[in-house]
Structures are given as C-alpha cells and as structure tokens.
Structure 1
Amino acid sequence: MLDKKVKEIMTSDVLTTTSDVDVVFAFEKLMENKISSLPVVEDDELIGIITATDVGHNLILDKYELGTSVKEIMITPVVTVSPDSTIEEAVCIMKDNVSSGILNQLPVVENGKLVGIISDGDIIQEIF
C-alpha cells in the first residue's frame, strides 16, 4: 500500500488563497471548511501556506493587526511532494518536517503548480 503513488489518494480540488487576502478572512475560510491548512497560490504557483493552528494562535495573542495580509504571515518555502512520489515517501517527508508545523498536510506540486494536497488522514485511510 505504501508503494502507491500520491496522485492516487490526494485531494485534487484544493481550497487556496492568495497572498493579498486578509489573515482574518483566510482564517474564517479555514474554520468554515474545517481544514487545517490553506496553500497560498499566485497564478497556480504555490508560494506559501498558512495553518489554522498558527493563525488561530496568533490571532488570540493579538499578534496581527487588522489588515494583516496572508503574505506577511505565510510559511515559505513550502515543503511539498510530487504526485509521482510514493505514499511512503510522503510519510517520510512529513516525518522529517515535523518542526515546520505542516505535519498533517502536504501540498502536491508538479512543475511548480499546485495539483493537490495529501493529508495524514488520507494516508491513514489508505493504510487501514
């Protein structure tokens, strides 16, 4: 099962945001859709990512002013995986990048373009 390709289990219809969006609006999008991360895309190219944990924590601590843009707080560079990578490779990438805060979501990128996202839940569901 771990030798299956990421493209076989990834989510292709990925919710994204642009870098000029207000952080509060992006956080609302995360909460409304019950997702933990939001890739930041410009012209289909992945340029960053924000997480609900980071944004929510910092909003609570009043670290953002009204009007703070996603560009100011997004994580970059983004750890990604190729659609042709195996699930095992994706697991290793997630494990090796725990400190980046993106443990449970991994954007899938091909030729610089965001083509999907794979989550720890996708992987667990595939294994079990």
Structure 2
Amino acid sequence: MTTVAQVLNNKPQQAIYTIAPDATVLKAISIMADKGIGALVVTHENTVVGILSERDYTRKIALMERTSFNTTVNEIMTERVLTITRAATVEDCLDLMTDNHLRHLPVVENDQLIGLISIGDLVKAAMEDQKKLIDQLQQYISG
C-alpha cells in the first residue's frame, strides 16, 4: 500500500502555500486565486493552527455579509484541522477525507508542516496501486 511519503515524493515539487492567522481574507483569497488552489494552511511559526478553504470563504464571508477587506483569516478559518504523517497510507487518508468531507490534508511531523495532499493526489495514487495489482494478477494468471 502506498504511503503519504511516497505520494509526496511523486508530486512535482510544489510550494506549500500558507498564510498567517492575522492576514486579511482578501490576501488569502488573492493567493488562492493567483496560485489556482482551493485552500491555504494557516500557520504560526510553521505550526498548523488552521486551514482556510473556499468553502470557509463562501459560508463565513459571503453568506454572513462580511467583507474580505476587514475580516482576518483567524475569524473564518477552520480551527480543528485533521493532519496526517508521512507514514499514513493512501487508504487511511481517503477514509479520513471521505468520513470528514475534506479535500486537503496537511502532512505534519514533529508539529511542523511538511506537506499538503489533496483528494486528487490520493485518488491518483490509489489508481496507480490498482493498476499495479491488476498487472501483477494478469502476469500471475498468464504464468
């Protein structure tokens, strides 16, 4: 079974985009739009303190009639962040994400952010695992 460490190693080198909790929501959504990403990890001294997603923005800014200009990230971020380590399996992560309706999981080791994986990263890895298994079974059958 593929681990998170392998998923991170197979990803093209990508920056982990983070934002400080006292930054404005406008700055956060500008970064997300500029980078084409759906979430930012909120960090303080490289420690994960929250996550801000497009879902947070739509539910806590647009629907609550707040403005992006004078609302800070810590006012609308999701504080209860589920994280994983490099040792976690793709299957474990998919279960966690499905059960909790998540699209992003920060990878944390020794309380420090070391990566971020998306549901897309995990689906790709699971598909590769299935392809390898099918290939092995076909080789076994054809002897």
Which residue does 2:133 correspond to in 1? none
- Match in the other structure for 1:125: 124
Runs of 4+ aligned residues of structure 1 deviating over 6 Å after TM superposition are none
Residues 65-108 of structure 1: per-residue CA shift (max 9 Å, x gap): 3321111111012011111111111111111212xxxx111111
Number of equivalent positions: 122
Supply the AA of the counterpart residue of 2:96: I
- Is residue 2:16 matched to residue 1:24? no
RCO comparison, higher one (Cα < 8 Å, 6+): 1
| TM-score, length of structure 1 as denominator length | 0.86
Q: How does 1:6-21 map onto structure 2 within 5 Å?
A: 6-10=4-8, 13-21=15-23
**More divergent stretch after superposition (76-85 vs 7-16):** 7-16
Paired position in structure 1 for 2:137: none
Q: TM-score, normalised by structure 2?
A: 0.77
Distance 2:90 2:3 in 1: 6
Output the CA distance in 1 between the equivalents of 2:5 and 2:15: 12
Identity %: 30
- Structure 2 unpaired stretches of 5+: 128-143
Indicate the structure (1 or 2) with the bigger Cα radius of gyration: 2
Answer 1 or 2: which has greater helix percent. 2
Please tell me whether residue 54 in structure 1 is matched to residue 56 in structure 2: yes
Secondary structure of the residue that 1:9 maps to in structure 2?
Answer: helix
Corresponding residue for residue 105 of structure 2: 106
SS in 1 for 2:19: coil
Secondary structure at the residue paired with 2:23? coil
